[in-house]
Structure 1
Amino acid sequence: MKVAYPVRAVVAALLVTCSSHALAQTADQPAAPEAETEGQDIIVTGRAGAGERTRVETSYAVTTIDADMLRSRAPSSVTETLKSVPGFWVEASGGEGSGNVRARGIPVDGFGSINLLEDGLPVQHDPALGYLNADQAFRVDQSIDRIEVVRGGPSSVFYSNAPGGAVNFITRKPGDEISGVARVLYGPTADLYRVDGWVGAPIGGGWGIGVGGFYRNERGVRDPGFTGNKGGQIRADLHGDFANGSTTISYKHLADNAIFYTGIPLTKDSEGDIVGLPGFDPHYDTTASAQVRRMTLKSATGPVDFREDQGTRIRLDQISWLSDWQVGDGWKLSHRMRYRDSNTVRNGVYPASVSTATALLNTYRNQVIGAFPGATSIQLRYVDNGQAFDVAGQNGNGDVFINAARPVTVEESELLNDLRLAHRFEAAGTHDFAVGIYYAYIKETFRRYSASTIQDVSGNSRLLDLVALNAAGNVVGALTENGVARYGSEFANGYGSQRTVAVYASDEWQIAPGFRIDGGLRWEKVSAAGAQENSRTVNLRNAATLADDSVLTGSGVFVPYSRTFDRLGWTLGANWQFMEDAGLFARYTSAFRLPSVGSFITSAAAQPVVQGIDMWEAGLKYSSRLLSLYATAFLTDFDSYSIGNTRFDTATNSYTQQTVYTDTRAYGVEFEGTLRPAPFFDFTLNATWQEPTFRNLAFNELATVNGVQTLIPRDYSGNQLLRVPKLALRATPAVNLFDNRFRAQLDVEHYTRRYADAANTSTLPAYTVLNASVRLNVTDQISLWAYGDNLTNTIGLTEGNPRAGELTSGQANDLLFIGRPILGRNFRFAVDFKF
């Protein structure tokens, strides 16, 4: 029951004194989109009680994104959907998969700080398996009804691998009548064609069926010279609503190929601003090309088929059974089970280093000339036509890449089961108590291979051979073969299984009408076992080239591993609902993240640690027709953060790695609010200000000095965390005209300076991006949309070159360097249908 409190008049005066007249004017007018339900949405993520709780009543920070909000921006990837979530730093410049999300200062890459859920169960139990992020196996389409994002709070109590938050994609369910939605999307910039749809219909006896999915074909904003994104998914749901509960059985098949955009070459102008190089457009070019579209690479066990034209190739089948039942007065039983099986091959060309051709030739001259009798000089030549490379100015720059053509194959299957029982009862107030058990069984195999290539710096770059010449100018040998400088520069082969058992409990104790205490705990145990194959180096003995002299391959000796980890985490929060539409909350959470089978599958001797996270937060919530405001202050302490400092050695065409552990701290404020002063205008602001720092990062760094491996003492304590800005905001003014039949909105995104390395020497400059969308409702059933992204063609760097070192970057002071910027200006148009 809603209760008016004595303090209501005072707080209401503070919040809406200046707006009472506007409210009176707009009370009988159509509300802006989402205005009427803001704050009153029923939240199902981050809690397990038998009763209902609205967003404004929760004791933790939660963001809701409904289907209308998704359509207003038409995000191209899972990570793009999360850019408006405060507290999340999102990097979506890699394409439709393999994004990065960092939550509340937890400084891990990929999806290591949050978990993705589909209808309350993980999309992938561990969303940050090596080379297999959860976003690679999930696509957003018209089957999604809404998204609930829990930041911090109780996410780690109810879900595995979710210390910083949980993102729950909630699917549409069929109703009592036939209904459906469809969308046709066209993007002229990327040569994009996409069709989405969903239809639901009753079939009698309380049952209904829903079918949805998408298909798209796209070359890409960064045109690789072939179709970069191609494929789709289909899902079918059988749903039953009954007097005492509901059940859903669903099947989903995903068959998709998505290109992975890696770093590109960049430089700086006379003012120090980042610009592109002659011959390489930083907005639209990519190293991908027809020449590396498909390559047959050598290994000790036979040819390796590299298919960059397939990008990240995912084939996934998933079946789910979800049920909720009222089993007695105040009792609720929930059961969620899912089995999924996936095969993923992640093909990508990863830039390892960029330099002038002259510098590259100087690096290899002595080695190559010494390897071939009669050789007196070396030269770069194009593989396709034998033309000599102009070291003074080929493509207008005279620069070259050393890249890694890397196919990684991951086969993974998992069974997930979550069973919980909730009971609402009276005892010194009202309790909403729940207890549950979660079980996961995962099997994984992992294979990785790399070959180092030499390519020119141009859009759709071409392969180069480095050849040895005699005095007569004839070729007597080569470093490379068909552009490959080293076959087998990386190798990994492993397999394993994992069992996870977790027991959790929670209680929401309503002590008084306006005051509630919420608490919960989770004990989790992980057991991982399997084996990893050791490597050896072999010479394939092609006398004409050095490319196959040092090929890494399997030794045939598998090293077994069997490890067990467990941890107890807990949370305690309080909520004061001092008004019907306003409240305050505070919470402490002791969260954790356990190692998984992916921690050992490339190194059986690995010594991962349980990552512990202490999180404090306190927030204000207010929601009315005029104003919605959610502000949360947070502090996150993260221990045992590991930085894998991978560096590419141009002399050996191989990688060296050093792992350093440290602690981090981040504190700040998250803000999201919408002001609706008139029916024709609304303004939304999502922002995060934070101080993200390393707490005690002192170590000895392994470096090569004058050809000798040397330990150099470093102390980066107090430096800013990798790639996380201190200020990130998204401001969205919008106009609604003609009784809301027309809407136009502008997104202004701003991100302050970040760093690509812990030393804070490799700077990623601040940048601002403008995006816009326009919607016209032609009829009640048909809407037209136009989208423009990065309208000012900003070069916004999301990351530098991680292969240059993330402790101390080797490219920090280079005028020529590698970075990964956002995509260039592009436009899309859509038609929506509904019935």
Structure 2
Amino acid sequence: MMKRKNTLAHSWVIGALYAMACPAFAQTVAAEPPAVPAAQAGEEAGVATVVVTGSARPQRRFDVSYAVNSLSQSEVQKLAPQNMADLLGKLPGIQVEATGGEVQNITRVRGIPTDDGLALFQQDGLPLFTEINGFFFRGDSLNRYDLMTKNLEVVRGGPASIYASQAAAIVNSSTVTGTGTTKGKAQVTLGTTGLARADLYQAGKIDDKTFYAVGGFVRQDDGHRDNGFPNDRGGQIRGNIKRVLESGTLTVSANYLNDHNAFYLPIPIADPRNPAVSLDKYIDYFDGTMNSPSLRAVPQKYLDGAGKLQTDTRDLASGRHLEYGNIGVRYEGDLGKWQLSAKGGMTKGTLDFDAFYSTSNPADATAFANGFLGAAKTAFGAVDHLGYAIAGSNGAQVYNPAAASGLVMQGQYRAASSDFYSNQADINITRNFETGFGNHDFKLGLYGSGYGQTSKSVYNDMLIEVQGRPRTLDLVAYSAAGSALGYVTDKGVLHYTSTLNQGDVDARMGALYMNDTWEVMQGLRLDGGVRKERYHYDGYALLTTQANLGDPTTLADDTTRAFTGARQEHKYNTNTVNWTLGANYDFSQRFGGYARMSHLEVPPSMQVAATVDPLVLTTKADQYEVGVKMNAGRSYLYVTGFYTQFNPLNASFTAFNPVTGRNDQTVPFFGKAIVRGAEFDGAWYLSERFNINGSLTVQDPQYKDFVSATGADPSKVVGNQIIREPKVFGNIRPSYHFNTGDYLVEMYGSYAYTGKRYVDFFQATELPAYHSFGAGVSLSRGDWKLQIVGDNLSNAQGLTEGNTRTDTLSGQGSKEAIYGRPVFGRSVRMVLSKAW
């Protein structure tokens, strides 16, 4: 796939920053009363907030029988998240690993032992892509937060499986639309990571019945880790036109995103020969990364189906380059006594993905070289010894590992590309029926989608030094006289095309769903719903074989993967049935309780139809929830106990084989996951000026009834803590505001904690608990606002992920992890905004 130039000029960002920042506080501002925080404006935050996601009609959050949070634009700005995962991680019941960069992070919803938490992202109640994950992109890659986001609602469990496909949770963003009053906002964000971002939106009326809204962002960021090139660059623009009709409203919308995002992978932090020895002097804990300018022109060689040599040159600085457009239409109105909602959307886009993945642990340089001595002698003759050189120097620039760490390491350059599309429509009708036994809000809906994607992935194994922004290395075969006889590597490539996959799939699905909310009497509501889905996948995968590309000067091309010219066809049909039952009883206006059970079935991803010999598996999750809710003025507390049975849990993984350089060691583990726990979500207003918000999740995520086909004893896994999932996580956020003259000052802090986790099934290697402190202050006068916020102010250390390519089965050979993705270090951002 051709590489695309970024069409968003950096000069736009600089110009916007200058134009907005200069007059900020130099301009005379009318002496108006300072803006009042939303929680002070009479709304009982978290109680009277109206939610629309997972409900037949808009309801107060206090009245629904499931766990849901709603965040307004001002609340999100106060939280000042570094990325979408960071934002979601501040909510109860959601554990995140927000260390991979701006997008494609790990988001786990309580009770669901998957890296995406089966959380479906929606925009105005409709997904931009039908499945939770595309090929190397997730919902947070498509759904970007900006000033056009009016509010964000997150449903965990409950009726999520009825109102969305494949979803144990829903993350729904509502878009700003125009009103009779023209309004807008401009915002500039500058950060210590080299962040420069400009956001802008405006909404108003075209005529008395037609309204508009348009906005977006442009951004460049050098990133939390030193890649040697910008981390993120690009932007988004979206808008809509709303027409008020006699019977309802018709809205037409459009999105366009063109963005590059670098991906951070785990780094080694200690010497595997002696885990007590830190590698911080070589790879800085907070700043270091294996991303490097040395990986900006990586060749990838393979034979196509006709036996012709293909060579692609990839640039790591391109990162995850996602470009897509979406056009949507929605109608909300009356159809006699029924309320009609009709939504449709068309999304089409491309993905080019370049990332440098961690593989095996660093190795002693001498032992690593000796491991190739036999093969080098066979290939090149009278080889006396092997030595290292800087890649591409033809052996002239000698590299001596003993003068540095004494280590070398492998990494895997992964390049992937995809064209994707998703057309989806949802039509539902709602009616309220009054009966002699209370009233019913009944909803009946149809959802349909046609979607698909191409997929191609090529992996190279590279040899690098143990250093931040590492140089690639060549391993040279020398004669006794010191002459270079050949190369184990080829300009830093240890194995060309150790992985090669290509396929195509088209999918069709349809769903019929219904839900009834029955208000039996005042304070008592029962609800139930069911969703029936049918899927059809039609695709193929190209077959590959091992091939020698025939270069006698190097071993790097001896065992590449090559296309055979044949392909494997796949057609799959599958059905799923989801259901939910819930009850809510309010004992008083300040105290209530609810209970719910839900059943979710998730079909295999459509990518199974583009995979050679795929594993076709439908996952089922039974979720049980019991909650209590209390409020006193603006103070509130929601407590939800949960119990989930997840079956089957496919914990199989494909491990990296350092000998072959391939991800060819399939380790099958199957069983169940049982997760018990409780989530707490509360706010305590000690006075008009001082309040404390917080969330806490306590859980026991366990493996149950495991089976292994590798000889490992699965009984030693049963009862163990699920990999990378903590038993305790949460945060607390105090806030204080006061007036001084014409200014409103808000000060706030945050403390976040993530408990101990493990990298492997057998709990051999621990990811220690970690915490972080943050703080912020904002100064508002009239329509101007200046905010300064800092994260991890104490530079507290913490590891996420581990090294999943190699450590999942047996750990890392140490009690505590010596390889992982560290949390980001201290960073500060300044946000300046002007509303009108």
| TM-score, reference length from structure 2 | 0.91
Could you report, residue by residue, the CA deviation over 1:582-601 in whole angstroms, capped at 9, with x for unpaired residues?
32110010111111311232
After superposition, the Cα gap between the structure-2 partners of 1:270 and 1:672, relative to the gap in structure 1 and judged at 3 Å, is farther
Contact preservation (8 Å) 2:242, 2:249: yes
For residue 547 of structure 2, what is the aligned residue in structure 1? Answer: 538
How is 1:210-221 mapped onto 2 (pairs within 5 angstroms)?
210-221=213-224
For residue 71 of structure 2, what is the aligned residue in structure 1? Answer: 65
How is 1:753-832 mapped onto 2 (pairs within 5 angstroms)?
753-777=756-780, 779-809=781-811, 811-813=812-814, 817-832=818-833
Could you report, residue by residue, the CA deviation over 1:245-273 in whole angstroms, capped at 9, with x for unpaired residues?
22211011000000001111112899988
Q: Indicate whether 1:735 and 2:744 are aligned.
A: no
For residue 602 of structure 2, what is the aligned residue in structure 1? Answer: 593
Which is worse superposed, 816-825 or 209-218? Answer: 816-825
For residue 424 of structure 2, what is the aligned residue in structure 1? Answer: 416
Q: Indicate whether 1:679 and 2:688 are aligned.
A: yes
Which is worse superposed, 711-720 or 622-631? Answer: 711-720
Amino acid at match of 1:352: T
Contact preservation (8 Å) 1:793, 1:825: yes
Q: Secondary structure at the match of 2:401?
A: coil
How is 1:22-171 mapped onto 2 (pairs within 5 angstroms)?
32=39, 36-38=43-45, 39-49=47-57, 52-109=58-115, 111-163=116-168, 165-171=169-175
Q: Alignment identity in percent?
A: 29
Contact preservation (8 Å) 1:501, 1:526: yes
Amino acid at match of 1:46: G
Which is worse superposed, 407-416 or 130-139? Answer: 130-139
Q: CA deviation at 1:384?
A: 5.3
Q: Indicate whether 1:550 and 2:559 are aligned.
A: yes
Contact preservation (8 Å) 2:43, 2:49: no
Contact preservation (8 Å) 1:407, 1:449: yes
Q: CA deviation at 1:378?
A: 0.2
CA distance in 1 between partners of 2:86 and 2:386 (Å): 46
Contact preservation (8 Å) 1:756, 1:762: yes
Could you report, residue by residue, the CA deviation over 1:575-624 in whole angstroms, capped at 9, with x for unpaired residues?
00222243211001011111131123222x32322111110001112234
Q: CA deviation at 1:305?
A: 2.4
Q: Indicate whether 1:697 and 2:706 are aligned.
A: yes
Could you report, residue by residue, the CA deviation over 1:415-458 in whole angstroms, capped at 9, with x for unpaired residues?
00000011101122110001001001111100000000001111
Q: Secondary structure at the match of 2:162?
A: helix
Q: CA deviation at 1:219?
A: 1.2
Q: CA deviation at 1:726?
A: 0.3
For residue 392 of structure 1, what is the aligned residue in structure 2? Answer: 402
Contact preservation (8 Å) 1:786, 1:828: yes
After superposition, the Cα gap between the structure-2 partners of 1:31 and 1:238, relative to the gap in structure 1 and judged at 3 Å, is closer
Amino acid at match of 2:728: L
Match of 1:231 among 230, 234, 258: 234
Amino acid at match of 2:833: D
Q: CA deviation at 1:278?
A: 2.0
For residue 478 of structure 1, what is the aligned residue in structure 2? Answer: 487
Could you report, residue by residue, the CA deviation over 1:153-173 in whole angstroms, capped at 9, with x for unpaired residues?
00001100212x101011111
Q: Indicate whether 1:332 and 2:334 are aligned.
A: no
Could you report, residue by residue, the CA deviation over 1:790-829 in whole angstroms, capped at 9, with x for unpaired residues?
11112211110010142333x2428884211111111111
Contact preservation (8 Å) 1:467, 1:475: yes
CA distance in 1 between partners of 2:311 and 2:251 (Å): 46
CA distance in 1 between partners of 2:490 and 2:558 (Å): 11
For residue 706 of structure 1, what is the aligned residue in structure 2? Answer: none
Contact preservation (8 Å) 2:240, 2:251: yes
CA distance in 2 between partners of 1:276 and 1:748 (Å): 28
Q: CA deviation at 1:671?
A: 0.5
Structure 1 residue ranges without an equivalent (≥5)? 1-28, 703-710
Q: CA deviation at 1:297?
A: 2.2
Q: Secondary structure at the match of 1:701?
A: coil
CA distance in 2 between partners of 1:63 and 1:128 (Å): 23
Could you report, residue by residue, the CA deviation over 1:508-536 in whole angstroms, capped at 9, with x for unpaired residues?
00000110101000111111111111111
How many pairs were matched up?
Answer: 788
For residue 716 of structure 1, what is the aligned residue in structure 2? Answer: 717
Which is worse superposed, 479-488 or 199-208? Answer: 199-208
Contact preservation (8 Å) 1:96, 1:258: yes
Q: CA deviation at 1:216?
A: 0.4
Amino acid at match of 1:618: V
Amino acid at match of 1:753: K
Q: CA deviation at 1:360?
A: 1.4
After superposition, the Cα gap between the structure-2 partners of 1:357 and 1:303, relative to the gap in structure 1 and judged at 3 Å, is same
Could you report, residue by residue, the CA deviation over 1:60-110 in whole angstroms, capped at 9, with x for unpaired residues?
11011111121112223221220112111111100011111111221112x
Could you report, residue by residue, the CA deviation over 1:261-304 in whole angstroms, capped at 9, with x for unpaired residues?
11111128999889543211010111111110232222224111
After superposition, the Cα gap between the structure-2 partners of 1:202 and 1:581, relative to the gap in structure 1 and judged at 3 Å, is farther
Amino acid at match of 2:102: E
CA distance in 2 between partners of 1:713 and 1:798 (Å): 25
How is 1:583-732 mapped onto 2 (pairs within 5 angstroms)?
583-603=592-612, 605-655=613-663, 656-701=665-710, 715-732=716-733
Q: Secondary structure at the match of 1:62?
A: strand
Q: CA deviation at 1:658?
A: 2.6
After superposition, the Cα gap between the structure-2 partners of 1:758 and 1:89, relative to the gap in structure 1 and judged at 3 Å, is same
For residue 306 of structure 2, what is the aligned residue in structure 1? Answer: none
Q: Indicate whether 1:277 and 2:293 are aligned.
A: no
Structure 2 residue ranges without an equivalent (≥5)? 1-35, 304-308
Contact preservation (8 Å) 2:432, 2:441: yes
Q: Indicate whether 1:517 and 2:526 are aligned.
A: yes
Contact preservation (8 Å) 2:766, 2:817: no
Amino acid at match of 1:465: D
CA distance in 2 between partners of 1:98 and 1:379 (Å): 38
For residue 245 of structure 1, what is the aligned residue in structure 2? Answer: 248
CA distance in 1 between partners of 2:407 and 2:500 (Å): 28
Q: Indicate whether 1:401 and 2:404 are aligned.
A: no
Q: Secondary structure at the match of 2:587?
A: strand
Contact preservation (8 Å) 1:626, 1:677: no
Q: Indicate whether 1:186 and 2:190 are aligned.
A: yes
Could you report, residue by residue, the CA deviation over 1:128-150 in whole angstroms, capped at 9, with x for unpaired residues?
23422222222111111111110
CA distance in 1 between partners of 2:691 and 2:272 (Å): 40
CA distance in 2 between partners of 1:36 and 1:440 (Å): 39
Q: CA deviation at 1:194?
A: 0.4
After superposition, the Cα gap between the structure-2 partners of 1:472 and 1:125, relative to the gap in structure 1 and judged at 3 Å, is same
Could you report, residue by residue, the CA deviation over 1:22-60 in whole angstroms, capped at 9, with x for unpaired residues?
xxxxxxx987557724211221100224xx311000011
CA distance in 2 between partners of 1:34 and 1:388 (Å): 69
How is 1:411-490 mapped onto 2 (pairs within 5 angstroms)?
411-427=419-435, 428-490=437-499
Contact preservation (8 Å) 1:699, 1:714: no
Amino acid at match of 2:553: A
Q: CA deviation at 1:243?
A: 5.2
Amino acid at match of 1:357: A
| TM-score, reference length from structure 1 | 0.92
CA distance in 2 between partners of 1:436 and 1:392 (Å): 68
Contact preservation (8 Å) 1:414, 1:442: yes
Could you report, residue by residue, the CA deviation over 1:337-368 in whole angstroms, capped at 9, with x for unpaired residues?
01000101111000112222123123222222
Match of 1:254 among 244, 253, 257: 257
Contact preservation (8 Å) 1:465, 1:483: yes
